[in-house]
Amino acid sequence: MLRLFVGLDLAPTARERLAVLASGLQGARWVDPASYHVTLAFIGELDAAAAQNLDRELSLVKAASFDLEISGVGSFETKGKLRAIWAGVTLSKPLELLQGRVAAACARAEINLEARKFKPHVSLARFKEQPSKDRLGDWLMSNGLLRLPPWPVQDFVLFRSHLGGTGPHYEVLARYTCLQKE
């Protein structure tokens, strides 16, 4: 079985700038900068035949290239417990269109995606142990004005996720080129 998701790679300069934020919170398991990405659709586990069908449908997606921008930071909580901190991705019409077309390709490949509102972000850290509320608040405040220069998105990627004790490792299975900007 293959554990898959569709996403966007980050520019090397964006990876470097985000990596600088990876400190100052006890209990954080910081994401390896090589693994930074923006998820467009989490697929889950598929067999090889279903993965080939998905690849075929994704290759039919038509989307224009566009600029992607990272701005701000935030956190995800479940039942009052911190799960992750992230860098926000500015939602633009081209990004929204691409995500919708990827979701439609998944549907054509008979893959049921979670019915979750699209909130583009880059995960920076995950938590099992909770940092103090003061430390978390300080970290969010000191990094809240984060804004990286936009960079061009020229493709989207089918990733395979390999789970392990040191965190997931992502393998690029296929790249799908976006059309030139209009």
Q: Which domains does the chain have, with CATH numbers?
A: 2-177 (3.90.1140.10)
Encode pLDDT of 93-151 as tens digits.
999 999 999 999 999 999 999 888 999 999 999 998 889 889 999 999 999 999 999 99
Nearest Cα to Cα of residue 75 among 27, 32, 34: 27
Instruction: Count other Cβ atoms within 10 Å, centred on residue 119.
Output: 12
**Residue percentage of the chain with pLDDT more than 70:** 99
